[in-house]
Structure 1
Amino acid sequence: MAVSTMQAVNIIGFMDEIDDVITVLGESGVFHPDDVSVFYNNTQGFSHLQTKNIYAEHLTNLKASLGLTKRQFPLVDVSNFNPTYQDIQLFCNKICDELNELVEDRDFAAEQLLEAKQNLDETKHFVGLDIEIEKLLELKYVNARFGRLPKDSYVKLENYKDDPYIDFSVCTEDKAYYWGVYLAPADKTEEIDRVFSSLFFERCDIIGVNSTPTLHMKKLTALIPHLEDVYKDTEKRIDDYLSINKERILKYLSKLEELSLYSTIRTKALQYNKSFIIVGWVPTEFAKQLKKRLCKHRSVTVEFSDAKNEIKKSPPVKLKNCFLARPFEFYTSMYGVPKYNEIDPSLFVAITYIIIFGIMFADVGQGICLTVVGILMYKIKKMAIGKILAPCGISSAFFGLVFGSVFGFEHLLDPMYKALFGLEEKPIEVMSSEMATKIILVAIGIGVFLLITAMFLNVYTSIRQKDYGRALFSTSGVAGIIFYSAIVFGIAGQLLFGLPVFNAPYIIFLIVIPFILIFFAEPLGGLVNKEPDWKPESWKDYIVENIFESIEVLLSYVTNTMSFLRVGAFVLVHAGMMMVVFVLAETAGPIAYWPIVVVGNVIVMVLEALLVAIQVLRLEYYELFSRFYSGEGRPYEPVKLKLTQNS
């Protein structure tokens, strides 16, 4: 649970060397720029070098034109390519104009081809008409409506057989529709249209057909190959153009990406007289190497300071975790990045999430399936959640062995238990009333342990942040740990073991006094932290307000603990859902038995995996993170050009 150590860097030099300095910082790929005003309280006399990214518009236009070609343009190394701004401007304008013209020709050809194919598809439905469609549409006193009518609706036309104007001439048919035309006198068109609309008639606009459908189809059939050749020719012209200009396009595109990216450094830099000032952050392991490169420039001075001494400037955070915790940085980042002097909870999340998920989704077979699905999700789809599901599936398979469940078969592993432990059947029968009670109690025990652990993490974090008041007197501080632990262990000792725990000294020293400390946490914390205004403005108002807040504090202890009941509840839910699957399978008979078992397992696995994943994440965020983690830091985002990136 750690973050990479950072160094604050302050760079000052003459203006004639700023471009070289920015290039060094950009090429390093480790420099996180910051505002000079963050480092300097007084910036009078300073001026901005550049208020906006002058390359952004050219880059956007070039990428838009290249995107229209539907080709890929990987970035390349342009360290030795240094065109002027005017060169870039002229090149982008020229390439964009020429490409846009080629793309317009291609799109026009594609539009003509698509229109011809759609026209052919529509016209073929009316081959039964031996009349020129355009002439039919030009009739002055009669309106023609081409389209399709559902076969069910066609039967209903019998209801209108007494109306001479309601008639539908069928040309062709398919599985669901009759295609054809109906004619309506101009003065009755609106009324007849309403009738056919109620029968779900769908109009088809056939225009530009100045011959019979059969002849028009022949023309289109001959025209489409020609249009396809025209379209292929426009595509070839684009390919030829890109082939000739590819090297220059890639260079200018990559240079624009680089300059646009490096402009983020320039826009944050300030000028003072003939000098510039650039500030930012660098991981400690890269600081010496960067300083060595920067100091090659005669006017440049570089100063580093440890980020732990610059906490007020909010150093960016680069997470640094082992292989197990690294995938769970995804969940940590969703909640918020830790502050620089705050612990990274990714490892804590990894351990607790995997274990709790496994308990709630305990099944050997389904756990193995979940592991395979997780691996495939990451390997094929590159989904971050896949790397989380894989270890969760392994945990589920492990706890499936503990509970003796394999695809819902609760006694399939009985021979293993007998061979290894001499037992006649599995030791934990989830659905028995006695065991169900124990599972619920164990779930609450897990919750108590994790909540106390979260409180200890809060104490550790508070000490790191030198907030001794919060470490001692907050609801998740030392006073909170003593108060909560005393009540929980007192109730457990009294109810489960019959021990007379709640005697006068126990209540006074372990419950009453810690609660009083929590009640007065704000002024006591301010006093311990040596804050000048530690006293509240009105003690009376403070006490009245904190009476209501204390009720909320007490409820939070109860609700946080009770939330872990869902851990035990899902153990029982899993067994219950699979029991329903087997009851349905046995009721259906021997032929349908295995299909129902398989489908039931799939449904339960998908549904329960989703629910368990959400519920465990909820426990992490609301019950545990709220005790020790703020997530109010900012991520480390260095200026870095990725050559493998595609435009």
Structure 2
Amino acid sequence: MAIVKMNRFSLFVFESDKENLLHELQKFNYVHFLDLKENTDYVEMGLENAKVPENIVRLNEEITKVKYGLEKLSKYDTRATGLKAMKEGKEVLEFTELEERAENFNYQPIYEKLKEIGSSLDAIKSEKEKLNSTMNELRPWAGLDVAVSELGSTKQCITLMGTIPRNTRDSMEKELLESQYTYYEVIGEEKGYIYILVISAKEEADQVMEILRNHSFTETRLGIGDIPNKEMDVILNRISELKEEESNCEKQLTELGKYLPNLELLYDYYMNNKLRIASSENFLMAGNVNIIEGYVPADMINEFTDIVKKNLNNVYFMEIKEADKEDEEVPILLKNSTFSKPYESLTTMYALPKYNEIDPTPLFTPFYIFFFGMMIADMGYGLLLALGTGIALKTFNLSKEQRKNMLFYFYGSIATIFWGAIYGSFFGGIIPLPALIDVAVEYNRLLIISIAFGILHIFIALGIHAYLNIRDGKILDALYDVGFWYMALIGAILLLLTTTGILYGGIKNVAAVIMAIGMIGIVLTGGRSSESIGGKIGGGLYSLYGISSYVGDFVSYSRLMALGLSGAFIASAINMMAKMLFDMGIFGIIGGIVVFAVGHSFNVFLSVLSGYVHSIRLTYVEFFGKFYEGGGKAFKLLQSKPKYTNLKE
């Protein structure tokens, strides 16, 4: 599979026909509009920006209303959650079905009701906060059995209510006892403070005030007239009434919660409408005519043309041509087999290919899966991964992206089982199995195998580089940039193998000659882009120095061995700890089960994470680095990715 071939179109359409055309094209989906404001030729011609329909303002208001409803009703969702929700999944709809159901749902009365309930709840909340604040203020004065209104100062005395720090109480009481006409009472204590009532004759007022000030007295003015306990009873009754009102509002919201699925449909519908309307910003206008340019997949061009003809009644002008292979504006759409498609995310995470490149996804997919399994390499772990992803694929109603993620790890689990069988590892050896490679003893052999896989991986990447050059008619470049490197690297590898006695020594001279020819070729052609002879030779020598990076690349594949061994040894250590606990009686058995379950779960997580990350590293650095540039622009579909539903393609 490969990059989807594109056709470029230019379309002139009257403003009055634009909205209906865009609506039909959105159902079609596979249209990528170019932003013509970036075209300097059109700008110099004095063309105007196309009109964005005014109803986009109203649409944004409707989206805000729907978001308000979703926010208010989300916690009143009575639908299944957890595994049951995953099993049921999102509702799958045709785009036309989404439109029909959304347009038949009248949200306005529900919104008005939600606003009314929301306002009531806000008012209840505000009043409760004020009442609770008053309760907190009155609680320390609960011991006061006199109406506050009766405690005002008179002609003969003053009355003070307030607080002092608890640690000043003794000294203050001692000083107040020296006065003759002063009454003092502790009403309550809270948070390190004493709440006091002081009544004093006016002739002693100054003396009493001085004492209180010296003891950090803070006066309190209660905003009530009755006895605090009675006021608190009134407040508690009111809070109870408010809670009842709040409960009624909650019941109304619970009843309205049944409309949540409709609101979700409406949100996805409005977001698609917004995308369609906003797409007009890419167009330009000449008088009353819209100028539209973009791309359509070549295999869909007939369907696209039929839609244009049907909706414009032949009152339009359109030109269609094959996309230029070297045009960097051509958007990229990838099309892969079921096997490779889950791994497209790795390509897009790195960079989409340019239109004149190839899609590397099907090329690296087998290696990625193979390396992933080799880094985990445990049959038990692989079976767990296969079982989990397999059940999810069979049982759950997954979205397209979720399904691809499950397949991503399902394929990896097959490779994990394969390598687990090679190593004879089942949960770190809990069940003895025959092994083709004993990792505890034959680690040198495993290291050689890992590096051999790396050599194959890199040589294939170089072969792809050569293919691209030959495809583009650059046969000599294929020889210079790949052929000579093949000769230098293969010769060096053969020479090393004969020197160490692994291969027959008689081919040593042949290997040396092949390596020498390759190196000389690299020196003579590596700097060919330079104009001067010195530059050519210097560039060639610098290119030959790059052989050291190949050595580093080959050694990098030792991680295939290292990660597989580390996971196996950790699993073995977990089994040893569990076995030690099993020999310690019933509590040891319970502890051993916990250690086994938690330990292996953690090791599975680490192993899968390591396999994922390091397989990506080998793909991006060692593989892509030899032939892949990337930098393509993604094809922008005319339907937005729904948040709450799944749309059929």
CA spacing shift, 1:335–1:542, aligned 2, 3 Å:
same
Is 1:299 the counterpart of 2:315? The answer is yes
What residue number does 2:275 align with? 261
Is 1:280 the counterpart of 2:289? The answer is no
Which secondary structure state, in structure 1, belongs to the residue aligned with residue 332 of structure 2? Answer: coil
Is 1:368 the counterpart of 2:383? The answer is yes
What residue number does 1:571 align with? 564
What residue number does 1:156 align with? none
What residue number does 1:33 align with? 33
Which secondary structure state, in structure 2, belongs to the residue aligned with residue 312 of structure 1? Answer: coil
What residue number does 2:548 align with? 555
Cα deviation for residue 163 of structure 1 reads 9.0
What residue number does 1:336 align with? 351
Alpha-carbon distance in structure 2 between the residues aligned to 1:283 and 1:31: 8
What residue number does 2:10 align with? 10
Aligned residues: 571
Which secondary structure state, in structure 2, belongs to the residue aligned with residue 429 of structure 1? Answer: coil
Alpha-carbon distance in structure 1 between the residues aligned to 2:507 and 2:465: 28
Q: Which amino acid aligns with 2:321?
A: S
CA spacing shift, 1:35–1:583, aligned 2, 3 Å:
same
Alpha-carbon distance in structure 2 between the residues aligned to 1:484 and 1:132: 100
CA spacing shift, 1:377–1:107, aligned 2, 3 Å:
farther
What residue number does 1:605 align with? 604
Which secondary structure state, in structure 2, belongs to the residue aligned with residue 393 of structure 1? Answer: helix
What residue number does 2:340 align with? 325
What residue number does 1:459 align with? 466
CA spacing shift, 1:465–1:256, aligned 2, 3 Å:
farther
Q: Which amino acid aligns with 1:482?
A: M
Cα deviation for residue 564 of structure 1 reads 0.5
What residue number does 1:408 align with? 428
Which secondary structure state, in structure 1, belongs to the residue aligned with residue 330 of structure 2? Answer: coil
Q: Which amino acid aligns with 2:143?
A: D
Superposition map of 1:34-433 within 5 A: 34-36=34-36, 44-50=44-50, 54-69=54-69, 70=71, 102=116, 105-109=119-123, 111-112=125-126, 115=129, 130-131=143-144, 142-143=163-164, 180-183=191-194, 218-219=233-234, 221-231=236-246, 257=271, 259-272=273-286, 275-296=289-310, 297-307=313-323, 309-374=324-389, 379=396, 383=402, 385-409=405-429, 412-414=431-433, 425-432=434-441
What residue number does 1:630 align with? 629
Cα deviation for residue 275 of structure 1 reads 4.0
Alpha-carbon distance in structure 2 between the residues aligned to 1:237 and 1:78: 28
Cα deviation for residue 626 of structure 1 reads 1.5
Cα deviation for residue 232 of structure 1 reads 5.3
Cα deviation for residue 237 of structure 1 reads 7.8
Q: Which amino acid aligns with 2:444?
A: T
Q: Which amino acid aligns with 2:238?
A: L
RMSD: 5.0
Alpha-carbon distance in structure 1 between the residues aligned to 2:552 and 2:298: 43
Which secondary structure state, in structure 1, belongs to the residue aligned with residue 425 of structure 2? Answer: coil
Superposition map of 1:429-508 within 5 A: 429-432=438-441, 435-465=442-472, 471-474=478-481, 477-500=482-505, 506-508=511-513
Describe the superposition over 1:122-174 as per-residue Cα deviations: whole angstroms up to 9, x where unpaired.
799x79963599989x97763469xxxxxxxxxxxxxx999979xxx9x99xx
CA spacing shift, 1:139–1:624, aligned 2, 3 Å:
farther
Alpha-carbon distance in structure 1 between the residues aligned to 2:445 and 2:254: 71
Is 1:514 the counterpart of 2:513? The answer is no
Give the conservation status (yes or no) of the 8 Å contact 1:13–1:299.
yes
Q: Taking every aligned residue pair, what percent have the same amino acid on both sides?
A: 19
Give the conservation status (yes or no) of the 8 Å contact 1:336–1:631.
yes
Structure whose alpha-carbon radius of gyration is higher:
2
Cα deviation for residue 567 of structure 1 reads 0.4
What residue number does 2:200 align with? none
Moved more, 615-624 or 295-304: 295-304
CA spacing shift, 1:440–1:340, aligned 2, 3 Å:
same
Describe the superposition over 1:419-439 as per-residue Cα deviations: whole angstroms up to 9, x where unpaired.
xxxxxx54432101xx11101
Cα deviation for residue 457 of structure 1 reads 1.8
What residue number does 2:639 align with? 640
CA spacing shift, 1:212–1:455, aligned 2, 3 Å:
farther
Describe the superposition over 1:619-641 as per-residue Cα deviations: whole angstroms up to 9, x where unpaired.
11111121222231111112126
CA spacing shift, 1:219–1:181, aligned 2, 3 Å:
farther
Alpha-carbon distance in structure 1 between the residues aligned to 2:61 and 2:317: 38
What residue number does 1:536 align with? 530
Which secondary structure state, in structure 2, belongs to the residue aligned with residue 294 of structure 1? Answer: helix
What residue number does 1:527 align with? none
Structure 2's unaligned 5+ residue stretches are 75-90, 152-158, 173-185, 196-211
Give the conservation status (yes or no) of the 8 Å contact 1:374–1:388.
no
Alpha-carbon distance in structure 2 between the residues aligned to 1:42 and 1:466: 35
Structure 1's unaligned 5+ residue stretches are 83-90, 146-159, 173-178, 191-206, 415-424, 525-534
Q: TM-score, normalised by structure 2?
A: 0.72
Cα deviation for residue 407 of structure 1 reads 1.1
Give the conservation status (yes or no) of the 8 Å contact 2:268–2:644.
no
CA spacing shift, 1:537–1:215, aligned 2, 3 Å:
farther
What residue number does 1:583 align with? 576
CA spacing shift, 1:142–1:251, aligned 2, 3 Å:
closer
Q: Which amino acid aligns with 1:408?
A: G
Describe the superposition over 1:214-255 as per-residue Cα deviations: whole angstroms up to 9, x where unpaired.
7677555533443244345556888999999x99x9999788
Alpha-carbon distance in structure 2 between the residues aligned to 1:134 and 1:496: 108
Cα deviation for residue 489 of structure 1 reads 3.3
